[in-house]
């Protein structure tokens, strides 16, 4: 099996020095002659979703080796969003996506790999790898480490969100510090990505639907032996893609992106997909604008009441057949295309041919959805002319429309201080500015403010709007990605304390109830000031990143 990438490194008299270095690695001639498959290992000792990946990487390498390839392992970085949350570390989470993409491209081009299997599990590592696959366009498969199992606390199943919301309950005097300590020790009982439909698990499910990952990628629990078997299958499958010449851009087409979005909104997935799917599509050579997210969500029902918006965890979805079962139900209802190719070498329809939905508790029938519309909504208005996003499946019915006075804060810390000191009142609309891709810089997730509001019981009466973003674990009327952001002169930066803000999620509207003349007057006097970036990397990121409505991609990718 001859492939041109590694041949450029190993074939010919002029490559004798290169072969000498390969011999020093311990490779035999007959191994060197095989196709070279880079195995990207994002394992590290701090992310619970990644600290077991070394075992899966070995299984991937076994599959590659058994199928006639030469697996060559190399690392990349990963940020734990939960640990990085609510301090300066979160400024680095979204920017790490670009670093991951660039490091994989660097290693691949520098060493002539013929294909890639990329082993990941959490938040920005997943889309960073997918973006790299599409940019490189060599045969690639992405494998996740799988979700953790839910924990148990006081007789009920819980996930990490329970601890974040516990902060609000502690502030409200509903639980003690001892209660918090007991809870924090019980919610994360195994390795794996956090047990609910947060960003990591959303993206792992989305990549399965997109066709870049094998069936089972999104839902097989991290601690199940089936996960190791899937890793071996991924190693074998990549050799089939090399043999057939199937590349990521053959798989990730506009129809495949629509399939991924349909699965996303049927699951009630994270708003962060509104950053990552457009960025992945852009690397594939076409656009997937925010308007497409809303178009798909309007016609695709929300079928799975997953934590944080419902009672079910990823293990429950797994036991009802996982993403293949959900896709089979959507395909039968005409809500998916069966034509896109996948990394199995078969089409979506072929993959789903014999799939059955095992139950109806987690994956609801199309005739009895959780909500008639999908989990995400894109809103527009004078405060967000280029759009903003909300996980409408996690909004209480009484907050689908809301009108109240603005409470404006420059940055997450100021907002959290006001929330935690009980200065926010029912009816308020919290506005957090200067947390966008440029303004942050880094577009921090803000789970602590949203979860504290929920813990205080204010998610039924207080809305939050920001040019930053939220964790997939956030719930409530949390409206993020407001574009343009305040740091780029966006009108969200013109809001003042006491201004009335009107929200109508069903009508897809969000308005600052201020006259056009007053807004024009404020805009004329507005001089956005960027906060110090705090590091040379974040400064470079700020200079190159685009709006959240574009997926927060780098300008160079847009040909600018």
170 pLDDT above the threshold of 60? yes
Cα separation values, 61 from 12, 54, 157, 342, 524, Å: 27, 11, 36, 21, 60
Rounded distance, CA 549 to CA 546, Å? 8
Distance CA 550, CA 548 (A): 5
The pLDDT > 90 percentage for the chain reads: 92
Beta strands in 307-411 (DSSP E): 376-381, 384-391, 401-410
pLDDT band at 168 (very low <50, low <70, confident <90, very high): confident
Residue 217 pLDDT = 98
Assess whether the previous peptide bond of 308 is cis (omega < 30° from 0): yes
User: Which value, to the nearest 10 degrees, does the dihedral of the CA atoms of residues 209, 212, 216, 217 take?
Assistant: -110
- Residues 222, 143 contacting (CB under 8 angstroms): no
Residue 3 pLDDT grade (very low, low, confident, very high; cuts 50, 70, 90):
low
| Averaged pLDDT for residues 53-71 | 98
User: Is the model's pLDDT at 45 over the cut of 80?
Assistant: yes
| Predicted local distance difference test score (pLDDT) of residue 359 | 80
Residue 475, SS3?
A: coil
pLDDT at 558 over 60: no
Q: Which range, of 112-116, 144-148, 273-277, 472-476, averages the lowest pLDDT?
A: 472-476
Could you give the CA distance from residue 217 to residue 143 in angstroms, rounded to a whole number? 6
Looking at residue 356, its pLDDT comes to: 85
What's the CA gap between 398 and 391, in Å, rounded? 15
Q: Identify any residues that bridge with 429 across adjacent strands, giving them in sequence order.
A: 406, 463
Q: Using the predicted structure, report yes or no on whether residue 560 has a pLDDT greater than 60.
A: no
- Tokens representing residue 539 in the block: 């400064």
Angle between helices 273-284 and 290-299 (to 10 degrees): 110
Confidence of residue 495 (pLDDT cuts 50, 70, 90): very high
Tally of CA atoms within 13 A in the half-sphere of 90 that contains its CB: 23
Are 34 and 68 spatial neighbours (Cβ–Cβ below 8 Å)? Answer: yes
To the nearest whole number, what is the mean pLDDT of the chain? 96
**Within 10 Å of residue 376's Cβ, how many Cβ atoms?**
27
555 pLDDT band (50/70/90 cuts)? confident
Residues with Cβ < 8 Å from 512, sequence gap 6 or more? Answer: 381, 382, 383, 406, 491, 494, 495, 499, 500, 501, 519
Q: How far is 28 from 26, CA to CA, in rounded Å?
A: 7
- Count the neighbouring beta carbons within 10 Å of the beta carbon of residue 5: 17
Alpha helices in 456-535 (DSSP H): 516-525
336-360: per-residue pLDDT in tens?
Answer: 999 999 999 999 999 999 998 888 8
In this model, does residue 154 exceed pLDDT 50? yes
| pTM as predicted | 0.96
Q: At residue 559, does pLDDT exceed 60?
A: no
pLDDT for the residue 380: 98
Among 2-11, 135-144, 335-344, the range scoring the smallest mean pLDDT is 2-11
Mean pLDDT of 221-249: 98
pLDDT digits (tens, 9 = 90+) for 245-288: 999 999 999 999 999 999 999 999 999 999 999 999 999 999 99
Each residue's pLDDT tens digit, 180-223: 999 999 999 999 999 999 999 999 999 999 999 999 999 999 99
pLDDT score at 538: 97
Q: Report helix, strand or coil for 501.
A: strand
Q: What is the mean pLDDT of residues 15-41?
A: 97
pLDDT at 1: 54
Predicted local distance difference test score (pLDDT) of residue 481: 98
**Residue among 471, 483, 547, 549 flagged as catalytic:** 471
393 classed as catalytic: no
% of the chain surpassing 70 pLDDT: 99
């Amino acid at each position: 099996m001859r492939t041109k990438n590694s041949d450029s490194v190993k074939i010919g008299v002029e490559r004798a020095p290169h072969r000498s270095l390969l011999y020093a690695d311990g490779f035999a001639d007959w191994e060197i002659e095989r196709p070279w498959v880079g195995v990207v290992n994002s394992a590290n000792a701090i992310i619970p979703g990644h600290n077991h990946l070394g075992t899966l990487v070995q299984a991937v390498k076994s599959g590659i080796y058994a199928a006639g390839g030469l697996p060559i392992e190399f690392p990349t970085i990963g940020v734990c969003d939960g640990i990085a949350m609510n301090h300066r570390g979160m400024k680095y989470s979204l920017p790490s996506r670009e670093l991951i993409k660039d490091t994989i491209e660097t290693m691949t081009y520098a060493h002539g790999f013929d294909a890639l299997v990329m082993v990941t599990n959490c938040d920005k590592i997943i889309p960073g790898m997918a973006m790299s696959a599409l940019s490189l366009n060599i045969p690639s498969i992405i494998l996740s480490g799988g979700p953790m199992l839910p924990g148990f606390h006081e007789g009920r199943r819980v996930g990490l969100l329970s601890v974040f919301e516990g902060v609000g309950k502690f502030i409200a005097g509903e639980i003690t510090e001892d209660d918090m300590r007991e809870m924090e020790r019980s919610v994360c009982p195994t390795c794996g990505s956090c047990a609910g439909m947060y960003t990591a698990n959303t993206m792992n499910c989305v990549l399965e639907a997109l066709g870049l990952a094998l069936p089972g990628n999104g839902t097989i629990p991290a601690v199940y032996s089936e996960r190791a078997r899937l890793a071996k299958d991924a190693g074998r499958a990549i050799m089939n893609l090399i043999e057939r010449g199937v590349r990521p851009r053959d798989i990730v087409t506009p129809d495949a992106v629509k399939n991924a979005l349909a699965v996303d909104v049927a699951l009630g997935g994270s708003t962060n997909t509104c950053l990552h799917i457009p960025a992945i599509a852009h690397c594939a050579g076409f656009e997937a604008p925010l308007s497409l997210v809303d178009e798909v969500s309007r016609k695709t029902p929300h079928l799975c009441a997953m934590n944080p918006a419902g009672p079910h965890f990823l293990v429950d979805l797994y036991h009802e057949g996982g993403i293949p079962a959900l896709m089979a139900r959507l395909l039968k209802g005409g809500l998916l295309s069966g034509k896109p190719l996948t990394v199995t070498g078969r089409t979506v329809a072929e993959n789903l041919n014999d799939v059955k939905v095992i139950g109806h508790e987690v994956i609801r029938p199309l005739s009895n959805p959780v909500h008639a519309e999908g989990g995400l909504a894109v809103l527009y208005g004078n405060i967000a002319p280029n759009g903003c996003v909300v996980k409408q499946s996690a909004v209480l019915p009484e907050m689908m429309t809301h009108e109240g006075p603005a409470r404006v804060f420059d940055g997450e810390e100021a907002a959290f201080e006001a929330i935690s000191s009980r200065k926010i009142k029912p009816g308020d609309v919290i506005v957090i500015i200067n947390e966008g891709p440029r303004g942050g810089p880094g577009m921090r997730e803000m789970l602590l403010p949203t979860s504290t509001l929920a813990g205080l019981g204010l998610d039924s009466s207080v809305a939050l709007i920001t040019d930053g973003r939220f964790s997939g674990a956030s719930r409530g009327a949390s409206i993020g990605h407001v574009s343009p952001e305040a740091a780029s002169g966006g009108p969200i930066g013109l809001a003042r304390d006491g201004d009335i803000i009107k929200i109508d999620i069903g009508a897809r509207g969000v308005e600052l109830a201020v006259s056009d003349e007053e807004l024009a007057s404020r805009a004329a006097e507005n001089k956005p000031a960027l906060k110090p970036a705090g590091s040379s990397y974040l400064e470079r990121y700020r200079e190159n990143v685009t709006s959240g409505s574009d997926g927060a991609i780098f300008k160079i990718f847009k040909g600018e």
